[in-house]
Amino acid sequence: MALWITEECINCDVCEPECPNEAISLGEVIYEIDPHKCTECVGHFDEPQCVQVCPVACIPVNPAFVESKDLLRAKYLRLHPGSADASSAAAVSSTG
């Protein structure tokens, strides 16, 4: 799943620079996560980095974007075609 930021966000700006996919940005009111970029940090870290640093624990999983680890990995490969696993990226992304 991608993660999302709830209205409890206090706009502290701690999470944004921690995201390896540049999925976090300041929205109209609070920070937001682009679900098409968030991989739950799969491919980069064992744990979601934004969740690790958020002082108010306002970043749950996004129930609208339920994804398996394989799908998250495929998303990671699409976002980072130059990664070590790039050779398999084409095959993965061509299947959706």
**Closest CB to ligand SF4 among 42 and 94?**
42
**Binder among 10, 86, 90, 91 for ligand SF4 (CB under 6 A):** 10
**Contact indicator for 43, 80 with CB cutoff of 8 Å:** yes
Torsion of CA 13, 14, 16, 21, to 10 degrees: 180
Residue 1 found at the interface with ligand SF4 (CB under 6 A): no
Which tokens sit at 13?
Answer: 């700006």
**Binder among 1, 7, 13, 61 for ligand SF4 (CB under 6 A):** 13
Q: Give the DSSP letter of residue 32.
A: E
Residue among 83, 58, 15 at smallest CA distance from 24: 15
Residue 58 found at the interface with ligand SF4 (CB under 6 A): yes
Binding site for ligand SF4 (CB under 6 A): 3, 5, 9-15, 18-19, 21, 23-24, 31, 33, 38-41, 48-50, 53-54, 56, 58-59
